[in-house]
Copies of this chain bind each other. A is one copy, B any other.
Amino acid sequence: MAENVNEIVDELVSVARGFYGRGWLMGTSGNLSAVVQREPMRLAITASGVDKGELRPEQVLLVDENVRVLNEARTPPGFLTTSELTNKAAANKPSDESLLHVRIVKERGAGAVLHTHSIWNTVFSDLYATEGGIRIDGYEMLKGLAGVKTHEHSEFLPIVDNSQDMASLANAISKTLNAHKFAHGILIKRHGLYSWGETLAQAKRHVEILEFLLEAMGRTAILKTGKA
């Protein structure tokens, strides 16, 4: 496992800084994770409350499926030293929402889970909550979602209610994942987007595609009003 941990951590840091630049992880919001090992599960995940625009490798934690922080696995040369790990364990803890990441990894077999708070995903998660989700169809960009081969695809992005009870929210997400077997993301009302992929690169692509499509739909709706 250890050989690729550093690489995964560096990739998470790079995605975090890029998404922060686009305003999708403002004010320490959001969480990014990637699977390091399946059995037993080892997940690299951003620590709680860290500034994603200045994310450093030591702010990415290694957790098990119960979100306990591990560090023994990360001692090979080139990775963090024991003292850095101890220091990290003392300084950082995983976000409460890490549970949702673990759930999505299990339910979807995902290799990475990205949770962002963008303006457009917040706006849509609010305005379409009563419809239970947003239908997106007819866009070429849909082909950026894994398994979609044509723009004549109809994607449904479900919306679940927000909650501070993580077990309850995890269950709502499981239920939604089961009800929408082909969904590539889930919105939480007035909260943000969860998307995922087989790899971190694919998960990043899915976030970019969904963000793009929401903004395109939003601006189309606004311009329709303006168009004579």
- Residues of chain A whose beta carbon lies under 8 Å from any beta carbon of chain B: 18, 22-23, 26-29, 51, 53, 117, 119-120, 122-123, 126-127, 138-141, 144, 149-152, 162, 164, 188, 190-192, 201, 204-206, 208-209, 211-212, 215-216, 218-228
The chain B residue sitting closest to A144, CB to CB, is B27
Report yes or no: B127 in contact with A220, Cβ–Cβ below 8 A.
yes
A219 shortest CB reach to chain B, Å: 5
A200 shortest CB reach to chain B, Å: 11
Apart from A119-B219, A218-B219, A225-B226, what are 13 other A-B pairs with CB-CB below 8 Å? Answer: A26-B209, A26-B212, A27-B205, A27-B206, A119-B212, A119-B216, A122-B139, A123-B223, A126-B220, A140-B188, A140-B191, A140-B192, A221-B223
The chain B residue sitting closest to A142, CB to CB, is B190
Report yes or no: B123 in contact with A151, Cβ–Cβ below 8 A.
no
Give Cα A201–Cα B28 distance, bound, in whole angstroms: 10
A50 shortest CB reach to chain B, Å: 10
Report yes or no: B27 in contact with A212, Cβ–Cβ below 8 A.
yes
Give Cα A125–Cα B126 distance, bound, in whole angstroms: 23
Q: Identify which of B141, B188, B221 contacts A117 (C-beta below 8 A).
A: B141
Q: Which of A151, A206, A228 has the most CB of B within 10 A?
A: A151
Q: Are A216 and B122 CB-contacts (below 8 A) given A141-B29, A190-B138?
A: yes
Q: Identify which of B26, B144, B221 contacts A227 (C-beta below 8 A).
A: B221
Q: Are A162 and B140 CB-contacts (below 8 A) given A212-B23, A219-B123?
A: yes
The chain B residue sitting closest to A28, CB to CB, is B205
Give Cα A223–Cα B126 distance, bound, in whole angstroms: 11
Q: What would be 23 A-B contacts, judged by CB atoms less than 8 Å apart?
A: A26-B209, A26-B211, A26-B212, A27-B206, A29-B140, A29-B212, A119-B212, A119-B216, A122-B216, A123-B216, A123-B220, A126-B220, A127-B220, A127-B224, A138-B190, A140-B162, A140-B190, A218-B223, A218-B226, A221-B227, A222-B226, A223-B226, A224-B226
